[in-house]
Amino acid sequence: MSPIRPVVAIHGGAGTPSRAAIDAEQKAAYHAALREILAEAQETLAAGATAVDAVTLAVQRLEDSPLFNAGFGSVFTAAVTHELDAAIMDGATLRAGAVAGVSRIRNPALAARAVMEQGEHVLMAGAGAESFAHDLGMETVEPHYFSTDFRRSQLHRAQGTAAIILDHDGGAPLSEDKKFGTVGAVALDMHGNLAAATSTGGMTNKRPGRVGDTALIGAGTYADNRTAAVSCTGTGEMFIRAAAAHDLCARMAYGGARLDDAARQVVMEALPAIGGRGGLIAIDAKGNVTLPFNTEGMYRGYARVGEPPCTAIFEDPSDPPSP
């Protein structure tokens, strides 16, 4: 039996700026951030870290980067506030934890893991989740910590609009003001265990109190050693209705589908049938990786132990993966 080669994959959200709207400097910044985070997670896996440790680290780093809509740099609600969601799941035990609608926890992914490890609940929300994190000594911040001038300008331009679209999705450049996104990570460790974690700042100009798929186990986040670890990004309401992350695993478990086939059935067939746009990243128990999306692009990458990280934004010859 061949030894397991640990692997980690991450995403920084589907619905990227269009090719016409993103310049070389911006592309380089995204590739550099993705590679740096992948390299750090890869290093921990090589040193024997668990898949749960690797996805926690990767998502925490994504939350700390202002380039992505999670943690620092999260988008604003219509009430000019921040409401963050996160979830994590251990494929070995099917334990899971999530937080929703928090605005004072610096790294919601760490709080989600704490919920999982306490074992009493799976999902905690709002002030109760924040009190829970505070009682455990987790780092809390004033809500303005998450704010950036860029996100504030997005909100100001988006106010008064009704449509919600992915960030510069499709063809002509669309309004950056209506961006929403997510970050996530999936991993397979040297012990053969899988894990997934996802975090988001939600949607620009969203109605306060809205919770998307990120914090809902089986919708935006799922992991099961028998099948795969999955983290999703896109139109959250549709991912909830499709139970997208669990649907992928169910297609493998009950229908015998291979990872890539199951992922593409969900992303290219099941979700578009109800108007769902976005993508997902997934790793199966054999270490196969898939990163499909039905938008113009998705910030993404993966790294196997012993190989250089590979990152990409679009999917065509003009934007080859960047090692």
Q: Answer yes or no: is 212 a known binding residue.
A: yes
Q: Answer yes or no: is 213 a known binding residue.
A: yes
User: Which residues have a catalytic role annotated?
Assistant: 182
Distances (CA, A) of 258 to 5, 241, 282: 19, 23, 12
Q: Answer yes or no: is 276 a known binding residue.
A: no
Q: Answer yes or no: is 52 a known binding residue.
A: no
Query: Under a CB-based contact definition with an 8 Å cutoff, are residues 87 and 96 in contact?
Result: yes
**Annotated binding-site members:** 210-213, 233-236
**Annotated binding-site members for substrate:** 210-213, 233-236
